[in-house]
Amino acid sequence: MTTLTSAEPVTGLEEPRFLGVRHRPAALSVAIRASVPLLLLAAWWYGSASGAIPSDVLAAPSQVVGALGELAATGQLADYLLASAHRAGLGVLLGGGAGLLLGVVAGLSALGEELVDPTMQMKRAVPFLALVPLFISWFGVEESFKVVLIAVAAAGPMYAYTYLGVRGVDRKLVEAARGFGLKGPRLALGVIIPTALPSILMALRVSLSVALTGLIAAEQIGATEGIGYLVTLAQQYYRSDYMVLCVVVYAVLGLVIDLAIRGAEKASMPWRR
């Protein structure tokens, strides 16, 4: 035990360091964020222009811009993006919806956990790409096959994160809500899902990126449009400019998804800063 000796004058006191997130000016933050991608872009451009990177290893930025121009001019870019967005959206809606439901059930009740979790953990261990041949024989090669493949891929992460999020909900909060007479779906929708929302949005983020992977696999088979189909075309016709364009499109989509989820986080969780 220490005792305070009040006789000494209080000197050299330091204000404790601020432990929260320091907010930089927005412009500076954006500039720092953009710096690394821009640096990579500059290295790519310089490497191609100086001849250090041969064009069959990596197409030059000018070629990729040319490819983008061609694709936009023929209207294919918009068609492809729409077709893929439709498939991915539907797949994530179905698979994510199922994953969310199962995650909430497993997270809320012991019986639910016992019934759902072992199967979902097994399902998660199966790479969805291994299911492609099976799914083709069950669903054919048309749209339903593609949507189901993406749904199955998206269900795994959605389930896992939702389950964790629901398990992490403060029991006292649930008790209190029960004290007010909330139960069943109203308890889940009014208390548990909003509290687990950070995890669920994280799950959505992961599900959407998995859906992009699923698109590549699904659109290799029996497709006539889509960004995964574009990857196949670029390979089949040995167009390295289009291959790089696909990479760029995926990168931009990743960025868009990230921004969208950040927006959703801000809008749906005003209490979190």
Partner 1 sequence: MSPRLAILAVATLCALSACSSPTATAQAGAVLKIKDPGNAGPLAYAKKNGILEKRLAQVGAKVEWGGTYASFTATIDAVRSGSVNVLEGAISPALGYLANGRDIKIFSITDRVVDPAAPKTDGLVVPADSPVKDVKELVGKRIAVNKGGRGEYLLLLALERAGVRPDQVTRVYLNPDQAASAFATGKVDAWWAIVRAYPEAVAKGARVLVHSNDLPDQDLSIQAARVELLEKHPEAVRVYLDVLRELTAQAKTEPDAFQNVFLAQGPTALSGARLKEELDKSRYALPPRPATAADLTYVKDVAGVFHRYGVLPASVNPSDVIFDLRASS
The contact set with partner 1 (CB under 8 A) reads: 56-57, 67, 70-71, 73-74, 76, 90, 93-94, 97, 101, 133, 136-137, 139-145, 147-148, 185-186, 189-190, 193, 220-224, 229-230, 232-239, 242
Give buried/exposed letters for 185-202 (b at 16+ CB in 10 A, else e): eebbeebbbebbbbbbbb
Q: Which is nearer to partner 1, 17 or 106 (CB)?
A: 106
Burial class (CB in 10 A: 0-12, 13-18, 19+), 247: middle
Structure tokens at 232: 């196949």
Closest contact distance (angstroms) between CB of 207 and partner 1 is 13
Closest contact distance (angstroms) between CB of 165 and partner 1 is 14
CA angle 51, 53, 59 (to 5 degrees): 105
Beta strands in 30-73 (DSSP E): none
Q: Which is nearer to partner 1, 105 or 234 (CB)?
A: 234
Closest contact distance (angstroms) between CB of 9 and partner 1 is 59
Q: Which is nearer to partner 1, 148 or 253 (CB)?
A: 148
Closest contact distance (angstroms) between CB of 27 and partner 1 is 35
CA distance 9 to 187: 56
Lookup result for tokens 């998995």: 210
**How many residues belong to the chain?**
273
Closest contact distance (angstroms) between CB of 124 and partner 1 is 21
Q: Which is nearer to partner 1, 11 or 137 (CB)?
A: 137
Lookup result for tokens 């054919």: 140
Q: Which is nearer to partner 1, 116 or 121 (CB)?
A: 116
Cβ contact 108:164 at 8 Å: no
